[in-house]
Structure 1
């Protein structure tokens, strides 16, 4: 055998080895993606929340449709238009940057409901009810809103009357803020802005992301974890609502913080994937019903002592961010199952 033949054979063998390795890695990745067959019950769904406006007041429901981009009302509960979780967002007129209760706590006092087949009703203390015509991309202006880390997200502007109402309520001015609406027609792309998260959290993808949520389409909180945290804090009243969850799980045998290790979760016919720990900010220190900030930075200050993330952000954690892998209807009282190891 000549030197050239030996070299050629070596190249072929090396190529085959690389292909075999890549094939093995692909198989392993696909294997990990297979939805589990074996489940064990850990508790039940005790509360279910939709937040129609990002940073707005919660809407507690007894059932919801779980879509790929988050919860929305069922047709049985609202036949005209089903409000979606974080389907509306307040943004600054001058630069299109989103605004939240981190800066404007009074946003938490705003309630959103469906008025009729053409209008949303928006209410806040001391303000007249605002009736906003449900926008569409034919009659209303399409824009790009800047979310975290400069991510540009599709939106439809809700018009000048809504802009005036929000500017007066939040800024006590006639201009400055506007309201954006997401009709669910486009998905977000975080590959250009969230690389460090995608690299660290291996199960996090564009498919994990909600409409105007900070990141993923669902947030789950374990009630026993909240109870444990409450015992560590004095002179401050907190609840699961400080953490603005979509799903609250409770159970007699449930242990605090065990949710950190749940990889797959099944509620009814819905299947969810744990893709990230939920890092926490100053939003948790704002009373969800009064919009008053806690003077001692609780519960954030206590969480910082024992619940810090190992991820890219040096922030405390509470709860888990989920991707919806199988859609369906979920209801309060449904059993919560996790995949067996």
Structure 2
């Protein structure tokens, strides 16, 4: 029997994740997931742990639906109001996508610039300004916020357990930043799924998730593993066409509610 055993969201792209017991899904994935992003103040290009591992220490939490709390070691907490979706628009780039989204203001920019040690801005994406998901895998009109490419990421607990055994030490699921964790399936069973149902919500499994150097960062300390694990082990048995895959990207067929313990049914 398959069950939903983990549910995570990441309010600020590349900052600390948040474990949830239940969550709603809107047109961009989990409500509140990756709706905020840090960008270079000059170029508008997105910034992540790949370049700034200290972002592992950055905490962002929704306070209701109109305000974000920022916290980090050595910094005073900062409350950031949700910006007007049509005011102070800033051009930003995430991978090959360029868009204009609201800037969160000077206080947030100053706070983040001091903590990260470089000039940056905080931006937020309203649903109406979100990106189209790659139409090689999605229908026109299916959108994503500031996640790398897809609204949802799923990993099987047994897949992580198998990887940890191969590496020879425990691995935190948070290294791989999934939204959904499923227990009860065989290792890498999710690779063969095309459609699943969790509770009453149907989801399409559209593409494997290619992994990068971020997986070598300890999500608690930001320290990079000297042996490049677990990426080095993954390259030995999960590499295809020059990419290393772990986990599956999903698109929800509509909106709904998810909760830990819900049954997961493989439809196709």
Is TM (by shorter chain) over 0.5? yes
The 1:322/1:142 distance shift into structure 2, 3 A limit, reads same
- Which residue, out of 244, 255, 262, partners 1:316? 244
Q: How does 1:217-296 map to 2 (within 5 A)?
A: 217-234=151-168, 236-251=169-184, 254-296=185-227
Q: CA RMSD in A?
A: 1.8
Per-residue deviation at 1:106? 1.3
Task: Give the number of aligned pairs.
Answer: 268
**Does 2:228 align with 1:297?**
yes
Whole-Å Cα distance in 2 between the matches of residues 161 and 187 of structure 1? 24
For each residue in 1:182-221, what CA deviation from the matched residue of structure 2 results, as whole angstroms up to 9, or x when unmatched?
A: 122223136xxx6xxx5xxx53345454200000000000
Helix, strand or coil for the counterpart of 2:243?
Answer: coil
The 1:267/1:213 distance shift into structure 2, 3 A limit, reads same
Whole-Å Cα distance in 2 between the matches of residues 321 and 239 of structure 1? 19
Per-residue deviation at 1:137? 2.9
Whole-Å Cα distance in 1 between the matches of residues 229 and 131 of structure 2? 32
- TM-score, normalisation: structure 2: 0.94
Helix, strand or coil for the counterpart of 1:203?
Answer: coil
For each residue in 1:253-292, what CA deviation from the matched residue of structure 2 results, as whole angstroms up to 9, or x when unmatched?
A: x211110010001001111101110000011111111111
Partner of 1:203: 137
Contact 1:269–1:327 at 8 Å: present in 2 too? no
Partner of 1:15: none
Partner of 1:336: 264
Contact 1:277–1:309 at 8 Å: present in 2 too? no
Helix, strand or coil for the counterpart of 2:75?
Answer: coil
Helix, strand or coil for the counterpart of 2:30?
Answer: strand
Partner of 2:2: 43
Higher-Rg member (1/2): 1
**Does 2:253 align with 1:325?**
yes
Whole-Å Cα distance in 2 between the matches of residues 306 and 327 of structure 1? 35
Q: How does 1:98-137 map to 2 (within 5 A)?
A: 98-115=46-63, 119-137=67-85
Unaligned 5+ runs, structure 2: none
Unaligned 5+ runs, structure 1: 1-41, 73-83
Whole-Å Cα distance in 2 between the matches of residues 118 and 204 of structure 1? 30
Per-residue deviation at 1:316? 0.8
**Does 2:4 align with 1:58?**
no
Helix, strand or coil for the counterpart of 2:101?
Answer: strand
- Structure with the higher strand share, 1 or 2: 2
The 1:339/1:119 distance shift into structure 2, 3 A limit, reads closer
